[in-house]
């Protein structure tokens, strides 16, 4: 948005300068006419001093020319001031809009908050010992399956680090006290998604069995503007004649919780091996929603 505003302001300034250049060109023409008028006045004065004959028509033409020059100068000056006032208004508007842009509420990534480790002086690990003395690097897998690799301070991710989620999605960010404050990359999840309270994602499952339709993942949000979902679930749809049957595969009760895989129950629609392959297609998104 800021780049568009800058481009818009630049175009206004360029157009204003073009108009200003044209105006100065007109003023230059008027200036030349004034010089010529002065020259005519000197010739007229010399003629009078030399007692040459001056007709009323000569005087009338001279004064008419002077009035035209004065009228042109007045009109051109008025146009210049009007154009400058318009430029000032546009630049003031641009400044207000850019100020409004810069004061927008920053993204809230609190849903990615990682736990803090208490100090353990007998440990050889960075995150629970050395990080309490100096900044260090370490890789830790949390109980919910999230894997963090990066810098630590006082038992918490702090600085540059990469978070890898179950299923392979990753997020690189600058962290502060266990929370990302600026996300740099989202592993192909940087496209902003306009969504309602529930957002669905699907993957084709025909390669497992031609009778299988899709594996669906549903994400539940508290509001349509949240960065992270409240809960999520995954299921497969299978065609039985003209009827579509849904079989649950896995779920998350919370964004920071652990994945819960459903247990296979015998069915003539899907084998246990196909059920596990379908569960592997439940690749939950972790970022890029808003």
Confidence of residue 209 (pLDDT cuts 50, 70, 90): very high
Q: Is the pLDDT of residue 172 over 80?
A: yes
Which of 2-6, 31-35, 51-55, 219-223 has the highest average model confidence (pLDDT)?
Answer: 219-223
When the pLDDT of each residue in the chain is averaged and rounded to a whole number, the result is: 79
Q: Is the pLDDT of residue 170 over 50?
A: yes
234-265: string of b/e by CB count within 10 Å (b at 16+)?
Answer: bbbebeeeeeebebebbbbeebbeebeeeebe
What is the per-residue pLDDT for 20? 55
Range from 1-10, 78-87, 121-130 carrying the lowest mean pLDDT: 1-10
Range from 10-19, 66-75, 76-85 carrying the lowest mean pLDDT: 10-19
**E strands of 60-166, at which residues?**
136-141, 147-153, 156-164
Average pLDDT over residues 134-156: 88
Structure tokens at 170: 């990753």
Strand-pair partners of 10: none
DSSP string, 3-34: HHHHHHHHHHHHHHHHHHHHHHHHHHHHHHHH
Strand order in the sheet with 212-220: 198-204, 212-220, 231-240, 243-252, 260-261
What is the per-residue pLDDT for 146? 85
Q: Cβ(117)–Cβ(133) under 8 Å?
A: no
Q: Is the pLDDT of residue 280 over 80?
A: yes
Q: Which residue has the higher pLDDT, 47 or 182?
A: 182
Dump pLDDT digits (tens) for 246-273.
999 999 999 989 999 999 999 999 999 9
Average pLDDT over residues 87-111: 70
How far is 263 from 78, CA to CA, in rounded Å?
83
β-strand pairing of 212-220 with 231-240: antiparallel
- Which single residue is written with the structure tokens 């060109």? 25
Name the burial class of residue 208, with classes exposed (0-12), middle (13-18) and buried (19+) by CB atoms within 10 angstroms of its CB. buried
Average pLDDT over residues 64-77: 73
Confidence of residue 107 (pLDDT cuts 50, 70, 90): confident
What is the per-residue pLDDT for 59? 67
Name the burial class of residue 289, with classes exposed (0-12), middle (13-18) and buried (19+) by CB atoms within 10 angstroms of its CB. buried
Confidence of residue 2 (pLDDT cuts 50, 70, 90): very low
Q: Is the pLDDT of residue 206 over 50?
A: yes
Structure tokens at 120: 């353990």
Under DSSP, is residue 147 helix (H, G, I), strand (E, B) or coil? strand
Q: Is the pLDDT of residue 92 over 50?
A: yes
How far is 133 from 179, CA to CA, in rounded Å?
20
**pTM for the whole structure:** 0.47
Q: Which residue has the higher pLDDT, 194 or 68?
A: 68
How far is 226 from 204, CA to CA, in rounded Å?
27
Q: Cβ(254)–Cβ(239) under 8 Å?
A: no
């Amino acid at each position: 948005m800021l780049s568009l505003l800058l481009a818009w302001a630049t175009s206004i300034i360029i157009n204003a300068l073009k108009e200003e250049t044209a105006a100065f060109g007109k003023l230059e023409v008027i200036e030349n006419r004034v010089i010529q008028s002065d020259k005519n006045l000197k010739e007229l004065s010399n003629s009078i001093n030399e007692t040459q004959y001056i007709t009323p028509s000569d005087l009338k033409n001279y004064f008419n020319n002077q009035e035209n020059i004065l009228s042109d100068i007045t009109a051109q000056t008025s146009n210049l001031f009007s154009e400058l006032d318009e430029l000032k208004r546009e630049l003031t508007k641009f400044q207000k809009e850019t100020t409004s842009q810069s004061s927008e509420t920053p993204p809230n990534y609190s849903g990615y908050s990682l736990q803090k480790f208490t100090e353990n002086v007998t440990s050889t690990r960075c995150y629970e010992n050395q990080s309490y003395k100096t900044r260090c690097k370490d890789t830790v897998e949390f109980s919910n399956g999230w894997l963090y690799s990066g810098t630590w301070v006082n038992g918490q991710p702090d600085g540059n680090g990469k978070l890898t989620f179950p299923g392979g999605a990753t997020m690189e960010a600058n962290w502060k006290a266990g929370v990302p404050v600026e996300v740099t990359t989202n592993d192909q999840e940087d496209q902003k998604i306009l969504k309602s309270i529930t957002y669905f994602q699907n993957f084709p499952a025909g390669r497992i069995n031609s009778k299988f339709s899709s594996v669906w993942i549903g994400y539940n949000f508290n509001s349509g503007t949240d960065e992270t979902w409240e809960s999520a679930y995954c299921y497969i749809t299978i065609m039985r004649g003209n009827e579509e049957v849904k079989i649950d595969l896995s779920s998350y009760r919370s964004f920071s919780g652990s994945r819960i895989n459903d247990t296979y129950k015998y069915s003539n629609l899907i084998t246990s091996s196909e059920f596990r392959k379908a569960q592997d297609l439940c690749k939950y998104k972790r970022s890029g929603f808003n």
